[in-house]
Amino acid sequence: MNQRVQQLYNSSVSMEWQVFMEIFKKYGKIWGTYDGRQPMLAITDPELIKIVLVKESYSTFLNRGNFIPRGKLETSLPGAQDEKWKRIRTVLSPTFTTGKLKELGFLCIPKWPPTFLSSLLRVGLTDAEILAQATIFILAGYETVSSALSFLTYELAIHPDIQQKLQEEIDKVLPNKVGVTQRPTVCPNRFSKEVKEQINPYTYLPFGAGPRNCIGMRFALLTMKAAVASLMQHFTFQPCKETQIPLVISPKGIFRKPTKPIVLKIIHRA
Ligand code: HEM
């Protein structure tokens, strides 16, 4: 990381992260705490993370502990446990495969909800279970995608060289500006194939890992790529005087969000 990026990075990490770093320095890779009366172990070793999320997931770590929705959403995928989770995950998984999403077409994301609902009706979930899945997909899919897109447009605005490179690649792959028929290949250097191969996959887990990972990952990536491609074809994002630089991340809430809303100037491309 160059110095400027490092500075930006240091000042935009959350207070929560800084607290975790302090604890890590003091106690090392594994430490314990209590969530109320429930003992909790925090693990930061990639090999142990892999054991929990993948190798021993089915035998020991399949359920989410205390962090699950209650009430009517208890029967939703994130809340369901053991055999019930397996049943629901098995019937939902085929709708989220790359093949199924491709079938719908890159530009046909609006077609997805009705196709999805009708396939749920066919696989024998009860009405209450279908309602729980539909509700959780809105909850799990909306804030995550919108906050990822907000951070992304912010990063593009403060890194105009990268934004220009992205626009050039998108213009090259999709010259007619009509629609997204082929996926752009743009990939920030940090995530390029060569660099990615050297990174331990259990150190960066935006969608989790193993059998209980994010079922909507491919759908989210596809939606976000389509949104970014179409935005980049028509607009350029720039910082303005209201833009908070560096971004200060709020210590509150489950989702990472800035203390002040992200405000950017949007210029129509000629
Ligand atoms: C940028 C967007 C998204 C991010 C960063 C994200 C992240 C995550 C993470 C970290 C988990 C927990 C994984 C684990 O425990 O290992 C998860 C689970 C889940 N996500 Fe996402 N997600 C996103 C979008 C979506 C979308 C669009 C949907 C639905 C259409 C969705 C549905 C779910 C569901 C149902 C679970 C629970 C899976 C289970 O318990 O079997 N997510 N997501």
- Check residue 194 and give its pLDDT: 83
Q: Measured between alpha carbons, how far is 164 from 232 in angstroms, rounded to an integer?
A: 9
Please list the ranges in the chain whose pLDDT falls under 70: 1-15, 104-112, 176-190
Question: Which token pair is 111?
Answer: 């077609």
Q: Is the pTM of this model over 0.85?
A: yes
> What pLDDT, on the 0 to 100 scale, is given for residue 14?
63
Architecture of domain 89-268: Orthogonal Bundle (1.10)
- In testing the pocket of ligand 1, which one of 96, 137, 142, 214 has its CB within 8 Å of the most ligand atoms? 214
Q: Identify whether the C-beta of residue 149 lies closer than 8 Å to the C-beta of residue 228.
A: yes
- List strand residue ranges (DSSP E) for the chain, in order: 30-35, 38-43, 235-239, 264-268
The per-residue pLDDT for 1 is 47
- What is the DSSP code string of 179-222? ---S------GGGSHHHHHHS-TTS--TT--STTS-TTHHHHHH
CA–CA separation, 10 vs 14, rounded Å? 9
Neighbours of 30 (CB within 10 A): 12
Write the residue with the smallest CA distance to atom 41 of ligand 1.
Answer: 212
For residue 109, the 8-state DSSP code is G
What per-residue confidence (pLDDT) applies to 101? 78
User: How close is the Cα of 139 to the center of ligand 1, in Å?
Assistant: 10
Q: Is 92 in the pocket of ligand 1 (CB under 6 A)?
A: no
Query: What is the C-alpha separation between 69 and 72, in angstroms, rounded?
Result: 8
